[in-house]
Amino acid sequence: MPEISKFRPLIAAWAALALPACNVSAAAHAASRGQDFARIQRGRYLAVAADCNACHEDPYDGKPFAGGMAIETPFGSVLAPNITPDRDTGIGGWSEAQFEAAVRRGRRPDGKRLYPAMPFPYFVKMSPDDVAAIRAYLATIEPVRHAVKADQLPFPFSVRASMLLWDALYFADAPFAPDPTKSAPWNRGAYLVQGPAHCGACHTPKTALGGDKTASALQGYRIQGWFAPNLTNDRHNGLGDWSEADIVKYLETGHNRFDAASGPMADEVKNSSSLMSPSDLSAMALYLKDQTGRATAAQRIDPKDPRMVAGGAIYDDLCASCHKADGTGVPNLIPDLAASAAVASPEPTTVIRVMLEGANSVATKAEPTGPAMPTFGWQLTDAQIAAVGTYIRNSWTHASPAVTERQVHEARRMLAADRAAVGP
Amino acid sequence: MTDVRRRDLLTGTAFVLMGTRAARAGIVAGSLPWAPEAGSPPTPVKQGPWLFFTAAEVATMEALADRIIPPDPETPGGRQAGCAVFLDRQLAGPYGQAEGLYDQPPFEKGTKTQGPQSSATPAELYRTALAALDQYARSQGASAWATLSAEHQDAALSGLENGTIPLQGLDAQAFFATLVKDVKEGFFADPLYGGNRDMCAWKMIGYPGAHYDYRDWVGRHNERYPHPPVSIMGRPGWTPKT
Amino acid sequence: MAKKLPAKDVVIVGLGWTGSILAQELTDEGLDVVAVERGPWRNTATDYPPNYSQDELRYRIRHELFLRPAQTTFTFRNKMDQTALPIRSWGAFMPPNGVGGGGVHWNAETWRFLPSDFVVRTHLTRRYGARFLPADMTIQDWGITYEELEPHYDRFEYLCGTSGTAGNLAGRIQEGGNPFEGPRSRPYPNPAQQQPFSHALFAKGARELGYKPFPQPSGNMSQAYVNPLGVRLGPCTYCGFCEWFGCGNYSKSSPQTTILPVLVRKSNFLVRDESEVVRINTDASGKRATGVTFVDTSGEEFEQPADLVILSAYTLFNVQLLLLSGIGTPYDPVANKGVIGRNFTHQTISDVESFFDGSKFIFNPFIASGSIGMCIDEFNGDNFDHGPYGFVGGGYVGQVQTNGRPIETTPVPPGTPGWGAKWKQAVKDSYLSALKPGTGVHGSMYSYRDVYLDLDPQYRDRFSRPLVRITMDFHDNEIKQNAFLTDKFAEIFHAMGARQVVKKYRKAPYDITEYQTTHLCGGAIMGTDPKTSAVNRYSQSWDVPNLFVLGASNFPQNAGYNPTGTLAALAFWSAAAIRERYLKNPGPLVHA
């Protein structure tokens, strides 16, 4: 049995809801009638942009949209349902209206509220017509008979009524409203980022209940052992150094002159953004470059600090042969640490993780190389990982809080538990 | 870490084990295999009990290491550099068992150009030879090899080298060549293998060790490289001074 | 009972350079291709990352990346009347193993052969007369010309991002390049690498003696590069861990860093690793290959049917599989008949060690790349008049020192004991100021009637298959050639200001314990006559037209260069013939 990619469940995982798979309504199976080629193609494209299959793929035999993948959430694991048109175990019996209600508003066909779900707070921004197009596309794929056991979330999320409160706090039932003062491409970018692409699902900070802190949209968030970096134009922590073209190249190929997509973002690039149209990627880049963040630079750590001295020694001996002494790496091959948002982020989850277990960058048609970083966890102590982490976060133009031994220790513990959970 | 274990780690969306039996062979297709922590990094030698040598053999081996590479005021000799520890761990491991070498009979003595044809593993060779050295020492009126004077040991080693002193049960000249090769390997190999303690051999000659980037230096001709050596497991400068 | 797998269009035996090139070309043609590789899958970060690949004991001394003799080896003898004995541990050459083959741990010296090398018998006979050649020398023309191969050399160099300085651009001699090379259609894709001190000093000494030194063509990147397939390589960091080692930072051309990332993405390609092909299957007529049989590491046997079989293993294993599969007539040196095993060659390597005044010279020998170095080509091939010297062939000579790794590269002056206090002091005094190029004299080895491969009558591998038996010795021609080249080489070190120069001549008999190179050639050679060659000019078997045999086993004799550039160019040439002609009309591409 192939191992399940451990990244995939993380794509939209901050507080995913499982759609119940068994409560099929008696509504007629209508969507496959009167097929419209253009509409179905649009739906297919949107399903890619929304990366539906990232969660809904059957993890055991790879059947698209057949469900069964365990989605980790801060509150426990849920299984993603089968969304193929199978009438008994999928959504073949749903009406268009039922589908739209589930996707955009988190309501089940039986009228009940859904658990904190697949990201309907984002998908609500999609137009009903786009959601209908996705539905039209899903009606054309092969029905797979695959019964997925409903989720079992812990209290209080096991009480569906508690979701009423959650909705009231974090859910606004309103489609995307274009900003008339902005250009059409800007609005298209905003629609994609806020809606189908649901970037904020990972990149927006969350409240204790897993709702978005909308005031800090896209300013970076730690999820499932990764830090999804700040996507705003913030020069210290975000993408301030990146041009629109840099963002487009990154989303399209997984690589650009600064960075390489690895971890959950590698899967996103591979399965979603690398398959999106250049004009949509440009629109998203235009929108992201217009998002201002808080330019919060930390106090830069003194280069004479013992952690910086040791970190610099390790860097010169171990890291410079790829990333160069000045941190700049090799464009499109080895990430530029001096310009990396992940390196400079307020907290070092990704930096620690990548050093401990290595990282594999995404390979795409346009950038097929797929270079990987080796693991250093066997070689460096917690104090040494902390030192070199502190060094790269406070060298060149960076000024970020030091990495502590304790953080490294915790990361090792978390990764070991993660591996034990995934199994051999 | 064995190769098999490495393969266990190499999983990816497209890497599947073939069949349901204990096949290790795999199919690679679709993407380059990778998994977190994939690799087969070395396991550094731990100081501690001897794994191969007996106490008597240790005494002989350390004496030999110090004659092949004698200490001097600036650089330790073979013993202090850990060459005996190195060899102990090597002989206890795959090298000692001649693992991976062709071991099918018949073992015939060929010409020199046909290469070694002995059926003895290095572990067997050392076991026999170290005992024979003690026996030689007793024939010289000493209790054991290590109690011979340095001068006496040097003279005897020269005899082994040039074939004038035979040892019982083995080709003394061939053993001596192996011994010198092995001790030098311990002296110069990465300290993670137990020899070259504190990178003393690398410091002696000015070799920077595991450093992997000389782009800044390739164009600096006839200048002494100033940076300290580094082992795969690091150097003192890697540890923050608290 | 072999488990029969679904048929494929193409099965490739061995996924090194030539196998990867053929796989890439034939999958581009839309064919369904499977590669069966004896060794493991390998890649940079997972198998030779830059934080432990620089381990001299593990990789150089214990041969981590190479085939294990226990898995299979060869027997060896110098003369036909001797009993061959098994090579129990590697010495004179190092058989590769695993995906990428020798391309993982080569030095990446990426040479072209001279135009005259491809027509060597015709050329030498015309210039010196037939009687100038020893009677038992069996050199022959390749059946292909440099001009035909040039576009394919070019493709390989651009695939690899070879760093170098052109010496002959479309017939115009270029300053700073090799003036003796054949005309090239365009410059190298990357400028030459930087040269460390000793290599630059060698060039200066050579110029003072009137030679035209040039940088060795290098598959180590002088700068970041993206190849025509879109695969990226980084800049070489001159770490000094190249040959015997994998490159940890994507800066050495290898199948992994140039082809495989694109190849594995294709839905019409897959690799079965840790699976050793034991036989090429043929139909009842023996004129058509039906596929291969392989055994995986669990011992299970599989049959892989295919319409086209590409045999692209290492030289000796190509020959072994042909012999064991009964394809082609085994060579008989007594009758001088048959082809499989014929014209087996290696290389004629020697070295010069030189010792300089340590108070004036600091060479930092650890700063190097695999194909670093400055060379001269005045004494290669037939670039000089051999008339007065009584031998043919030649080689490049150069300061091509790749490392200062201390187990291997701690030369001591002549007269120093091999151990003890004097040895220790000499190592200390000499390390930074001594030079040991390693393979400084890189001479040709021509073919002879009594140097050949066949199956050993006694020793067997783990499948109870006979081992390949090597019968090889140096002949006077090569010994004379080597003495001449070594003397010329040594003069340059004197000109550089060495205090002592030690010439390490290559001498007979050929010794299987002394490493030369891994450039074994021949045994399944190409040519124009099925009576004296195993394959035609497209590397297609004369006997089984749906079998192509690739690699240096095709070389009728070995030239004075590293073989990879030429064997890779031949692979592109062969792939083009398959794509453009064979697939349209499967059958012999040359009618004998």
C63 is known as an active-site residue: no
Rounded to whole angstroms, the Cα distance separating A393 from B49 reads 42
What pLDDT does residue A23 have?
A: 31
Tokens of A343: 């390196």
Instruction: Quote the DSSP letter at residue C580.
Output: I
Helix, strand, coil percent content, chain A, rounded in steps of 5:
40, 5, 55
Task: Indicate yes or no: CB of C49 within 8 angstroms of CB of B39.
Answer: yes
How many CB pairs lie under 8 A apart between chains A and B?
84
User: Residue A364: pLDDT above 50?
Assistant: yes
Averaged pLDDT of chain C = 97
Rounded to whole angstroms, the Cα distance separating C584 from C559 reads 34
CB contact residues (below 8 A), chain C span 220-259, against chain A: 224, 226, 229-235, 237, 239, 248-250
Nearest CA in chain C to B95: C62
User: Residue B108: pLDDT above 60?
Assistant: yes
Gap from A373 CA to chain C (nearest CA, Å):
6
Contact of C252 with C220, CB cutoff 8 Å = yes
Rounded to whole angstroms, the Cα distance separating C244 from C247 reads 10
Nearest CA in chain C to B117: C88
Contact of A408 with A352, CB cutoff 8 Å = yes
Contact of A41 with A264, CB cutoff 8 Å = no
Task: Indicate yes or no: CB of A368 within 8 angstroms of CB of C45.
Answer: no
Tokens of C320: 């072994």
Helix (H, G, I), strand (E, B) or coil at C548: strand
Gap from B106 CA to chain A (nearest CA, Å):
43
Rounded to whole angstroms, the Cα distance separating A216 from A203 reads 10
Instruction: Quote the DSSP letter at residue A7.
Output: S
pLDDT tier, A150 (very low <50, low <70, confident <90, very high otherwise): low
Nearest CA in chain B to C403: B207
Q: Amino acid letter at A342? A: A
Please report all neighbours of B, defined by 3+ CB atom pairs within 8 A: A, C
Please report all neighbours of A, defined by 3+ CB atom pairs within 8 A: B, C
Beta strand spans in C62-107 (E) = 74-77, 85-86
β pairing state of A372-373 and C3-4: unpaired
* C157 lies within 8 A of chain B by CB: no
User: Residue A3: pLDDT above 70?
Assistant: no
Of A307, A360, A378, the CB nearest to B41: A378
β pairing state of C8-13 and C3-4: unpaired
Alpha helices in C7-117 (DSSP H): 17-28, 44-47, 102-105
Rounded to whole angstroms, the Cα distance separating C195 from C218 reads 12
What pLDDT does residue B6 have?
A: 33
% residues pLDDT > 90 (chain C): 99
Length of chain C as a residue count: 592
Interface mutation vs chain B, best among C64, C73, C81, C367, most B CBs within 10 Å: C367
Averaged pLDDT of chain B = 90
User: Residue B223: pLDDT above 60?
Assistant: yes
Of C52, C248, C366, the CB nearest to B207: C366
Contacting residues of B for A316, CB less than 8 Å apart = 227
User: Residue C210: pLDDT above 90?
Assistant: yes
pLDDT tier, A11 (very low <50, low <70, confident <90, very high otherwise): very low
Gap from B174 CA to chain A (nearest CA, Å):
38
User: Residue B141: pLDDT above 70?
Assistant: yes
* C85 lies within 8 A of chain B by CB: yes
Rounded to whole angstroms, the Cα distance separating A68 from A60 reads 8
Rounded to whole angstroms, the Cα distance separating A246 from A264 reads 19
User: Residue B22: pLDDT above 50?
Assistant: no
Tokens of C353: 């060690």
Q: Give the residue carrying structure tokens 């010289």.
A: B140
pLDDT tier, A423 (very low <50, low <70, confident <90, very high otherwise): low
Helix (H, G, I), strand (E, B) or coil at C591: coil
- Mean pLDDT over C300-310 rounds to 97
Beta strand spans in C340-394 (E) = 342-345, 348-355, 374-376
The neighbouring-strand residues paired with C8 are C306
pLDDT tier, A15 (very low <50, low <70, confident <90, very high otherwise): very low
- Mean pLDDT over B166-178 rounds to 94
Gap from B215 CA to chain C (nearest CA, Å):
5
% residues pLDDT > 90 (chain A): 64
- Rounded to 10°, the helix C146-160/C564-577 angle is 110
Residue with the bigger pLDDT between A31 and C290: it is C290
What pLDDT does residue A349 have?
A: 94
- Omega cis (within 30) before C509: yes
pLDDT tier, A210 (very low <50, low <70, confident <90, very high otherwise): confident
What pLDDT does residue A111 have?
A: 72
Contacting residues of B for A358, CB less than 8 Å apart = 34, 36-39
How large is the ipTM?
0.95
Of B24, B108, B222, the CB nearest to C361: B222
Which residue is catalytic, options C152, C199, C519, C591? Answer: C519
Residues of A in CB contact (< 8 Å) with C are 318, 321-322, 330-334, 358, 360, 363, 365-376, 379
Give CA separation, C227 vs B164, C157, C253, C560, in Å.
61, 10, 10, 28
Nearest CA in chain C to A318: C51
Gap from A259 CA to chain B (nearest CA, Å):
19
Tokens of C255: 């199948």
Tokens of B198: 């504190």
pLDDT tier, A224 (very low <50, low <70, confident <90, very high otherwise): confident
Rounded to whole angstroms, the Cα distance separating C570 from C568 reads 5
Task: Indicate yes or no: CB of B36 within 8 angstroms of CB of A378.
Answer: no
Gap from A211 CA to chain C (nearest CA, Å):
38
Our CA angle for C504, C508, C511, nearest 5°, is 85
Contact of C570 with C550, CB cutoff 8 Å = yes
Contacting residues of C for A367, CB less than 8 Å apart = 230, 232
Write the pLDDT tens digit of every residue in B23-36: 356 899 999 999 99
Q: pTM of the entire structure?
A: 0.93
Please report all neighbours of C, defined by 3+ CB atom pairs within 8 A: A, B
User: Residue A241: pLDDT above 60?
Assistant: yes
The DSSP-derived string for C408-426 is: T-----TT--SSSHHHHHH
Which uninterrupted H or E stretch holds C435? Answer: strand C434-435
Of C44, C250, C265, the CB nearest to A363: C265
In terms of Cα–Cα distance, which of C497, C562, C561 is closest to C197? Answer: C497
CB atoms near residue C6 (< 10 Å): 8
Task: Indicate yes or no: CB of A309 within 8 angstroms of CB of B241.
Answer: yes
What pLDDT does residue B19 have?
A: 31
CA atoms within 13 A on the CB side of A51: 30
Q: Of A126-140, A162-176, C39-53, which gets the smallest average pLDDT?
A: A162-176
> In the structure, how many helices (H) and strands (E) does chain B have?
8, 2
Task: Indicate yes or no: CB of C364 within 8 angstroms of CB of B180.
Answer: no
Of B13, B41, B242, the CB nearest to A2: B13
pLDDT tier, A167 (very low <50, low <70, confident <90, very high otherwise): confident
Contact of C540 with C547, CB cutoff 8 Å = yes
Our CA angle for A404, A405, A411, nearest 5°, is 95
Rounded to whole angstroms, the Cα distance separating A9 from A78 reads 10
Of A2, A310, A372, the CB nearest to B238: A310
Task: Indicate yes or no: CB of C57 within 8 angstroms of CB of B189.
Answer: yes
Contacting residues of A for B34, CB less than 8 Å apart = 358, 360, 372
What pLDDT does residue A166 have?
A: 74
pLDDT tier, A1 (very low <50, low <70, confident <90, very high otherwise): very low
Task: Indicate yes or no: CB of B184 within 8 angstroms of CB of C407.
Answer: yes
Contacting residues of B for A309, CB less than 8 Å apart = 237, 240-241
Contact of C52 with B232, CB cutoff 8 Å = yes
User: Residue B130: pLDDT above 90?
Assistant: yes
Which uninterrupted H or E stretch holds C35? Answer: strand C33-36
Task: Indicate yes or no: CB of C43 within 8 angstroms of CB of A372.
Answer: yes
Contacting residues of A for C43, CB less than 8 Å apart = 372
Write the pLDDT tens digit of every residue in C244-260: 999 999 999 999 999 99
Interface mutation vs chain B, best among C193, C271, C424, most B CBs within 10 Å: C424
Contact of A31 with A135, CB cutoff 8 Å = yes
Contacting residues of B for C45, CB less than 8 Å apart = 34, 38-39
Gap from A99 CA to chain B (nearest CA, Å):
31
Contact of C19 with C104, CB cutoff 8 Å = no
Q: Give the residue carrying structure tokens 């960075």.
A: A259
How many CB pairs lie under 8 A apart between chains A and C?
66
**SS3 for B60-97, per residue?**
HHHHHHHHHCCCCCCCCCHHHHCHHHHHHHHHHCCCCC
Counting other chains too, the contacts that B73-77 makes at CB distance below 8 Å and 24 or more residues apart are: B74/B204, B75/B200, B75/B201, B75/B203, B75/B204, B75/C424, B75/C428, B76/B197, B76/B200
Contacting residues of A for B13, CB less than 8 Å apart = 2, 5
Tokens of B222: 């006839």
Rounded to whole angstroms, the Cα distance separating B193 from B232 reads 10
Nearest CA in chain B to A370: B32
CB atoms near residue C390 (< 10 Å): 12
* B39 lies within 8 A of chain A by CB: yes
User: Residue B10: pLDDT above 50?
Assistant: no
pLDDT tier, A295 (very low <50, low <70, confident <90, very high otherwise): low
Of B68, B94, B185, the CB nearest to C61: B185
The DSSP-derived string for A150-176 is: PP-PPTTTTSTTHHHHHHHHH------
pLDDT tier, A30 (very low <50, low <70, confident <90, very high otherwise): very low
First to last CA, chain B: 33
Of C52, C229, C250, the CB nearest to A333: C250
Helix (H, G, I), strand (E, B) or coil at A86: coil
Gap from A7 CA to chain B (nearest CA, Å):
11
CB contact residues (below 8 A), chain C span 251-290, against chain B: 260-261, 264-265, 267, 269-275
